[in-house]
Amino acid sequence: MYTGEEIMQESDSTTAAIQFINSTSCHIFLTGKAGTGKTTFLKNLSGRTHKQLAIVAPTGIAALNAGGVTIHSQFLLPFGMFIPDRDLSPAADQSGSFYTSHTLAQKHPINSLRKQVLRSIDLLVIDEVSMLRADLLDAIDYRMKAARGNFTQSFGGVQLLLIGDLYQLPPVVKRDEELMLKRYYHSAWFFESKALKQDGFAYIELDKIFRQHDDKFIQLLNNLRNNRPTPDDIAELNRHYKSAEEIQNLKDVITLTTHNYKAEELNIRALNQLSTPPHYVYASVEGEFPESMFPAQQKLELREGAQIMFTRNDSEDKMYFNGKLATVKSIAGDDIKVEMAGSNTLYTLKKSLWENKRYTIDSATLEIDDEVIGTFEQYPVKLAWAITIHKSQGLTFDTAIIDVGQAFADGQVYVALSRLRSLEGLIMRTRIDPNVISTDKQIVTFSTVNNRPEMLPDKIKIKQHEYIRQLIKKTFDFEALVKECIYIQRNQKETSAEEAALKPVLEQLINALLREKDNTIKFGRQLLSLLDGNHTDQLSDRIRKGSAYYKDFLYQQVTLLLSHIEEMRLKKRVKSYLNSLLDLDQFFCKKLEAVDKALYLTESILGGVTQFDFSVFTLERASARGKILEQIRKDMPKLPDKKKRRKRKEEGDTHEITLGLLKSGMTVAEIAAARGLVAGTIESHLAKLIGVGRLSIHEYMDSQKVTMIANAIGEMPDGFTPKDLFLKLGGKFDYGQLRAVMNHMTFTSSESTT
C-alpha cells in the first residue's frame, strides 16, 4: 500500500542546500521539478538547522500548508504595490493602491512584539516563491532593515531561503499596476527584486525525482518544461486520447482542466446524477482562523456514491496521500466509510485539525516561538470528479483525465501532466496541440543562466569564509547596542520627572559599552588576522577566551537592564518606554546568543561540519536570565497592597463577566464577540475559573472529552507542557480545553488532600 511519503535518500543538491543554510549567510533559491521533494525538505528543515527561522508564504492556504504565516500578516503590509522610492508620485498617491517605505513607517508601523520577532529571525523561509512579486520582496527587505536597524545588508542581515518552482504558478499583476511595475522592474518575478540583487543568491535545484520513476515520462516532462517538446513527445501524449464515450464509463479517475467553470460543471453534473440524499458536515472553527485560509469546505456535502479526494497526507495511519481518490460507500451519522481507489480498501473517515499560528517571543529564552491562535477541524476531503490545474499543484494522482485543449497560461500542460506518477495513468480528453505548450522565456533564461551546480562547491567555500568573517566582526562589536540605547534616549521626549531620574541607567549602559569599544576593535582585527592566516588553533583559543570575557561583561549589563525593567513595570504611563527597554533586552540576548555560537560555529565550519545543535546554550541563557530576575524580584519592594487589591479586583471582574455570559447559555465564540476579545482569552478565563473551583469542568466541556484528556494526562511524564499533551492527543483538542482539564485535575487533587 502506498503511504504517500516515499523513502527519500539525501541527494547532493539537498546536502548542498543544508550546507549553505547552516554555514553561510548567502541567500538561497531552492527549486526543483514537480515531485523532487521541496515540501519534504521544508517540513524537515527546522530539525536540521541551528538558525531561528520563520516561514511565510504569499497566500493563506500556502502558508497553512507550509506551516507558517502569510507575508502580509507577518510584515503588516497593505495590499497593493510597493514602490521602491521614498515618495509617491501625485497620480500614484491619489489611486491609493501604492505604498512606499515612508508610507509603511508612517501609516503602518509595527509594534514592539512584531519587531522583536523580526529581530529574532536568522533565516526567513518564503515558500511558493513563484507567486511572490519583486516589489513585495522589496517591501519585506525594508521591514527587515527597519526592525533590525541594519540598512547596509539586504533584509537587515537575515538569510533568505526562497522555495518554489517558477515553471508553475506565476505572480499576479493587476491591470492598474502594470505600468508602474514596469517603471521599476524588468518583470514581476521575485528575482527582479532590488534587494535580492544587492547581495545575490545561490541557485540550488533538487534533481532527484520521487513522483515519477519512468525515464521516458521524465524526459517527456523535461521537454515540456523547457519548451522543447519533440514530435515523438506529442505523438506519445496523443496515444492516450480517449473519446467522451470511453471516458464516461471510467471510475476512480479525476479530470484536470484549465478553467474553474469547467471543473464546477463536471462536479455538479456528477453529483446531481446520484440519487442518494445529501449529508452535510460542518467544520469546527475556533479562535482566529480567517475564511481565506479554510483548507477544506466549512459546509461539506457528501453523498453515498460521491467521488472524493483527500486533501492532506495521512501522517498517522498512512492510508492516504494528498490527491488520493475514494468513493463514499456509507454514511451513518458521523460514521462515514469510503472505498479507496485502486485497492478497494474500506476506510472510516477521520477529521483533521489545521492550526493557524503567529510568531511570538518565548518569555524565558527571548527566542522566536509560535503560538496557535486558531484551529479548523474538518474531514480532509473534497468532492473530486474534476479540479483545475491551478488547484492541483502539490497533488499526486495514479490516474487522471487531462483536459488542456484550452490551455491559456504558461506551463499549464506541464503542471497537469506532472501530477501523474506514470504515463500508464494518463487519459487525454483532447488531443494535444503543440501551440498550447508554452513556458515563459524569462524563466527558461533565468534558470539556464543561474543553474550552475558545478560551481556550488567553490561558491560555498567562498561564502563560508565570508560568513565566519561576518560572524567575528558582528559578534565582537557592540556598536548596534550603543545605537539602540541612544535611540531609546532620543525617543523619550515626553518624560515625567520620575522617569527622567531613572534615565542614568541607559547612560550607564552606553558608557559601559563605549569603554569596551577600543578593546573590541583590536580583538576583532586580531581574530580576522588569525582567520586569514589560517591559524585555526590560535583562532579557536582567542575566541574561547574572548567569549568567556564578553559573556561575563554582557551579563553584568543585562542584570542592570533587567533591574531597570522591573522598576518600570511598577510605574504608570511608561508603556512606550518599557516596550523600548524590552526591545533592548532582546538586543542584549541576541548578542549573548552570538557570543555563545561564535567558537563552535567557527571551529565546526572550518572543520567541515555543517549541522549543529545549540539547544544547550539556549537553556543555559534562559536559566541564567531566570536566576537574575528571581534575585532582582526578591530584592525589590513589594507591590503596594492597594495596587495588588485593584489588580486582583480587575482580574476578578473580567473573569466573572465571562462566567456570567457562559452560564447565560453563550458559547465561547459568542462571548468573545460580545466582549471584543479573542476566543483564546475567554478560554483562559474559563480555565482559571475551573482551577479555583468557580466553574465545574462539566459545565464547560462534554464528559467524554474530559475523560479522554484526563486519561492522556495520566500517561504524560513529569514536567510535560500543554504542547506535549496537544501532540499526544493528535491535535484533537485545542489548548483552551487542555488547560481547562489540567486545572480541573489540579483543583480536584488539592481538594481531596485537604
Looking at residue 390, the DSSP 8-state letter turns out to be G
What does the pLDDT average to over 434-442?
76
- What pLDDT is attached to residue 4? 36
- What pLDDT is attached to residue 13? 87
Residue type (1 letter), 626: G
What does the pLDDT average to over 614-641?
81
DSSP-based three-state secondary structure for 493: coil
Beta bridge partners of 57: 70
Distance CA(107)–CA(272), nearest Å, equals 51
* Helical spans, DSSP H, in 533-606: 536-569, 575-606
Q: What percent of the chain has pLDDT over 90?
A: 43
- What pLDDT is attached to residue 590? 92
- What pLDDT is attached to residue 380? 94
Q: How far is C-alpha 427 from the geometric centre of its chain's CA atoms?
A: 37
- What pLDDT is attached to residue 647? 47
- The secondary element (H helix, E strand) that includes residue 697 is helix 697-700
Q: How far is CA 291 from CA 74, 169, 286, 356, 462, in A?
A: 18, 22, 12, 11, 46
- What pLDDT is attached to residue 94? 57
- What pLDDT is attached to residue 358? 92
Across 126-130, 613-617, 734-738, the highest mean pLDDT is recorded for 126-130
What does the pLDDT average to over 551-568?
93
Map 26-47 to HEC letters: CEEEEEECCCCCHHHHHHHHCC
Which three cell numbers mark 242?
A: 480517449
Q: How far is CA 441 from CA 20, 98, 451, in A?
A: 28, 28, 15
- What pLDDT is attached to residue 9? 47
Q: How far is CA 740 from CA 352, 684, 729, in A?
A: 22, 8, 15
Strand pairing report for 201-206 and 27-32: parallel
- What pLDDT is attached to residue 93? 59
- What pLDDT is attached to residue 685? 85
Which three cell numbers mark 79?
A: 495590499
- What pLDDT is attached to residue 462? 94
Q: How far is CA 589 from CA 510, 595, 601, 630, in A?
A: 16, 10, 18, 17
Distance CA(657)–CA(671), nearest Å, equals 9
What does the pLDDT average to over 731-754?
77
Is 165 exposed, middle or buried, given 0-12, 13-18 or 19+ CB atoms closer than 10 A? buried
Residue type (1 letter), 385: W
- What pLDDT is attached to residue 641? 53
Whether 350 shows a pLDDT value over 90: the answer reads yes
- What pLDDT is attached to residue 426? 92
Whether 59 shows a pLDDT value over 50: the answer reads yes
Whether 502 shows a pLDDT value over 80: the answer reads no
**Inter-residue contact 385 to 308 (CB < 8 Å):** no
What does the pLDDT average to over 527-535?
94
Distance CA(450)–CA(460), nearest Å, equals 15
What does the pLDDT average to over 521-534?
94
Strand pairing report for 325-332 and 307-310: antiparallel
Whether 518 shows a pLDDT value over 90: the answer reads yes
**Inter-residue contact 736 to 683 (CB < 8 Å):** yes
Q: How far is CA 473 from CA 152, 478, 520, 699, in A?
A: 14, 10, 9, 60
Q: What percent of the chain has pLDDT over 70?
A: 91
Q: Per residue in 252-281, pLDDT tens?
A: 899 998 888 888 899 999 999 999 999 999
What does the pLDDT average to over 81-106?
79
Nearest to 135 by CA among 80, 175, 55: 80
The residues, ordered by sequence, that sit 6+ positions from 259 with a Cβ below 8 Å of its Cβ are: 388, 406
- Banded model confidence at residue 650, pLDDT cuts 50, 70, 90: very low
Q: Per residue in 129-164, pLDDT tens?
A: 999 999 999 999 999 999 998 999 999 999 999 999
- What pLDDT is attached to residue 461? 93
**Inter-residue contact 210 to 403 (CB < 8 Å):** no
- What pLDDT is attached to residue 307? 94
What does the pLDDT average to over 51-57?
95
Q: What is the mean pLDDT of the chain?
A: 86
Cell 580583538 belongs to residue:
523
The residues, ordered by sequence, that sit 6+ positions from 301 with a Cβ below 8 Å of its Cβ are: 271, 278, 279, 280, 383
The torsion angle over the Cα atoms of residues 64, 66, 70 and 75, rounded to 10 degrees, is: 140
**Inter-residue contact 34 to 168 (CB < 8 Å):** yes
- What pLDDT is attached to residue 3? 35
Distance CA(131)–CA(166), nearest Å, equals 8
Whether 634 shows a pLDDT value over 70: the answer reads yes
**Inter-residue contact 343 to 249 (CB < 8 Å):** no
What does the pLDDT average to over 528-557?
94
Least confident of 19-33, 410-424, 720-734: 720-734
Distance CA(628)–CA(621), nearest Å, equals 11
Strand-by-strand arrangement of the 123-126 sheet: 69-70, 53-57, 123-126, 159-163, 27-32, 201-206
Query: Which of the two residues, 476 and 730, has the higher pLDDT score?
Result: 476
Nearest to 31 by CA among 159, 162, 169: 162
- What pLDDT is attached to residue 352? 92
- Banded model confidence at residue 5, pLDDT cuts 50, 70, 90: very low
Least confident of 321-335, 554-568, 622-636: 622-636
Distance CA(547)–CA(524), nearest Å, equals 12
Neighbours of 541 (CB within 10 A): 13
